[in-house]
A = this chain, B = another copy of it.
Amino acid sequence: MPTTERRYVIRLACPDRTGIVAAIAGFLAEAGGWIVEAAYHTDPETNWFFTRQEVRADSLPFDVAELRERFGAVARGLHAQSDWSVTDTGGRRRVVILVSKEGHCLYDLLGRVQSGELDVDVRAVVGNHTDLAAITRAHGIPFHHVPFPACEPEGKRAAFAQLRQLVDAAKPDAVVLARFMQVLPPELCADWAGKALNIHHSFLPSFVGARPYHQAHRRGVKLIGATCHYVTAELDAGPIVEQDVIRVDHRDSVVDMVRKGRDIEKVVLARGLRAHLESRILLHGNKTVIL
């Protein structure tokens, strides 16, 4: 993201008790750390604590590796298990985008990258159709075509294997399903857990699965929505990151809903991706805490 200065981002979730803020703040203060942003959340139901803090890199006398090591000791003292991270805003985040035929989300993301708003390295775009190859390549980004046969389990398995190879080779910080119309197999969901973001074109949990605008039209709803969520093995049931809606009425056909819906899909996906790349999202069971 367009931070003018390099920062280290600390994220931690642990059982709640007194003194956590003091422990972290004391650790940082002792090292001279200048906190530029800090957010806390306590969940009273589960008695769990969450925090995210941004520290000016130049305020610390050591590098990110040493911060990670030193903070690890603090985290262990707070029984945080593996539920913490220290990231460096200095390096550009790597992203792979999966697409099908519909281009509105891809156009939107590429526009944000081109303007510098989304300061990421799009390593590749992978599509099961070639419709979006030209616009991808016009931005100097590799486009890979991986066709998915409709009804051949064998061919589909092979396609997913190829997809996985292309994605994993890029070592992405985020895998963005930008209206990719294939359902990921459970093992991919597991391996990409917490980094694969999908945009579903409904206000979940309404209208799970195929053709949600058709479902919405049939039910006669007065608002349609879009949901950005982490991909999990259960279809459209992963932790929700962001949602929004737009008003429709009896005059809107399914085609109109598809058109209006696109405008929220792309902005909901972009907001969700931004939160993910800025390390703002902590998972809490099947829910998200966004700090």
Q: Copies per complex?
A: 4
- The residue on B at minimum CB distance from A228 is B222
Rounded to whole angstroms, the CA-CA distance of A259 and B271 in the bound complex is: 11
Answer whether A223 and B225 are a contact pair too, CB < 8 Å, given A18-B29, A115-B102, A267-B263: yes
Which residues of chain B come closer than 8 Å to A35, judged between CB atoms? 18, 21, 40, 42
* CB-contacts of A154-201 with B (<8 A): none
A203 with B223: CB separation less than 8 A = yes
| Contact yes or no, A117 B239, CB < 8 A | no
Residue ID in chain B nearest A26 by CB atoms: B22
Contact, CB under 8 Å: B38 / A28: no
- Minimum Cβ distance to chain B for residue A50 (Å): 8
How would residues 31 to 67 of chain A score, 1 for a CB under 8 Å from any chain B CB and 0 otherwise? 0111111111111110000000000000100000000
Closest to A34 in B: B18
Q: With A18-B34, A29-B22 as given contacts, are A240 and B263 in contact (CB-CB < 8 Å)?
A: no
Count A-side interface residues using an 8 Å CB cutoff.
75
Q: Mark A189-223, 1 if CB is under 8 A from B, else 0.
A: 00000000000000111110000000000011111
Assess whether B219 is in contact with A250, with CB atoms less than 8 Å apart: no
**A235 within 8 Å of B by Cβ?**
no
The 9 closest A-B pairs by CB, nearest first: A220-B287, A107-B111, A22-B29, A22-B25, A138-B138, A21-B25, A19-B29, A222-B243, A250-B289
Q: List 6 interface pairs A-B (beta carbons < 8 Å), by A numbering.
A: A22-B26, A44-B253, A117-B262, A204-B221, A205-B221, A223-B225
